[in-house]
Structure 1
Amino acid sequence: MKTVIALFDDRDEAMRAYAALQEAGYAQADLDILTNDDRDDEPKLAKMREYIPQPDVDVYLQGVSDGGTIITANVSDSAVERAAGVMSSFNMVNIKERAVTMKGVYAQLSDPAQNKNVLEVIEEDLQVGKEEVERGRMRIYTVVTEREVQQDVTLRDETLKVSRRPVNRSVSINPDLFKQKSFEMVEIDEIAKVKKTARVVEEVSLGKEVIEKIETIKETLRRQDVEIEEVKTARTFVDYDTDFRGFYTTNFSNSGVTYEELQPAFNYGHKLATTEPFRSSPWSAVEPDAKRIWEEKNPGTWEQNQTIIKYAWEKVRSER
């Protein structure tokens, strides 16, 4: 047996959940209502520390101390999920959120890894940030190159030229007539004179152009939910009487052995299929231990009963 617990802030909501559990078929003797105004509930509340881990139990007890109501249901292992589903359909307290807000209570609940009765609902959130990455780099620098140019220029070139021509002309005699005389003329040429000047013909600058763009990020987020389903309660051995007798009639009616003599083997197979770990394990894993237990009580009879035991195990297990 296990105990399913729910805390409600509203007493009326708690009573509706209590009534729903009764309508779902849970016996009144297995249900209980715990409050802070009933002295008979004090030992029951104190006993909760024995089966609820810390700090979860503090959340429940503090909730009752603040005027809340606890509904408990003592149910079989197979009925735990169903009872929890009935309670969760009402406005019960989210224990994790309450732990964060309550004063004097730890902000963390028990570690699911250490509590086999706790399953986590996990989902991923998308968080998009920005990071600067270098996509390219550019630099500018100067390079000196040379090129040959040419330009036509007009230059004057003087050449001295002596010309003689015959003359027959009389001159007057005077004292200076035969004095030494001279006459000079300068020959001048023009030559090209090169002068260089520098001027700016273009400016090259390096800068950044910044634009903003909207990029849509698509990502797949996972969510792990906890599904609640009702696990069928195993039928009793009597419920399979027709099936087992039919198997006997088909396979052993002419063997000279009565059904009543083989009934313990059918019963043993039924018990294996309703007991862990035999219920959830394959036959290859079940058979060694099943044979050992059978042989301890029925030495030397496993081989003749093995077929019946396996059939009963498979029949009961297939309907779960």
Structure 2
Amino acid sequence: MVQTIIGVFDSFEDAQRAQTRLESEGVARTDMEIHRSTTGDISATSGEPTARSVTSEVAEDGRHDGPISGIEHFFKRLFGSEDEPEEIGHYHEAVRRGGALLSVEVNDEASVERVRDALYAAGAVDIDSRVAQWRSSGYTGYDSNSPAYTADEIAAERKAFPVVQETLEVGKREVHTGGVRVYSRVTETPVSESVNLREERATIERRAVDRPATAADLKEGSVEIRETQEQPVVAKTARVVEEVVVGKEASTRTETVKDTVRGTEVDVERTEGADPAVNPVKKPPL
């Protein structure tokens, strides 16, 4: 069973780009049509005619029915002349406001979701959200007698007010906060130590005696007495009594960064006309 999927785009150029994208994803160009409210030939950006792209059509009596007529004939082919769903009027309104429709025919159920996702990925707008915007500015339904938007009206309606929101991004960087430099040098410190020294000296003592001499006393002889003394001997021994170990240790801390971010908000305000009997329709912001 052949099903027709319709995507709404803000411009004919957007619809053309979507058509090219779907073709690159395997959708035959002969299964696609682009509809807009401008009469004349439609050409793709490559310069080649867009397959089955229509704008206005000629009625059965040979008359040109107007810029929206071709789209009306397209929906009549789909739904007949009496059973069009209510939302079809929203598609007409989208085209009246300068948009374009891209219809894609699929032959199997499995391709429906794939094509629908491809249309949204290519920039198709949400028709329900767009209708809600129109209603906030006075839109009550499609009127086939209303003229198509002029270029100035389309530009005014599509005027964009950017909504900006800053985000806070906190990163990390390593900075030099100081350090430790360790020196090793030789020092000299005066010290003193007490030591007891011993010395030996020869002594001569003469004492008076009175006794008879013997043969032993008449012998020659000699005696040598050595004198000694102790002197201090200094020796130094170096010992390691302490070590200074140089290294680094890492730690982590949590710091809360506080700042302000800027953003913009867009407010929509409805204004009344000067004459109570005339309430002009305000074009919805995008």
Q: Higher helix fraction: Structure 1 or Structure 2?
A: 1
Same fold (TM over 0.5): no
Per the normalisation by structure 1, the TM-score is: 0.40
Name which structure has the greater RCO, CA cutoff 8 Å, separation 6+.
2
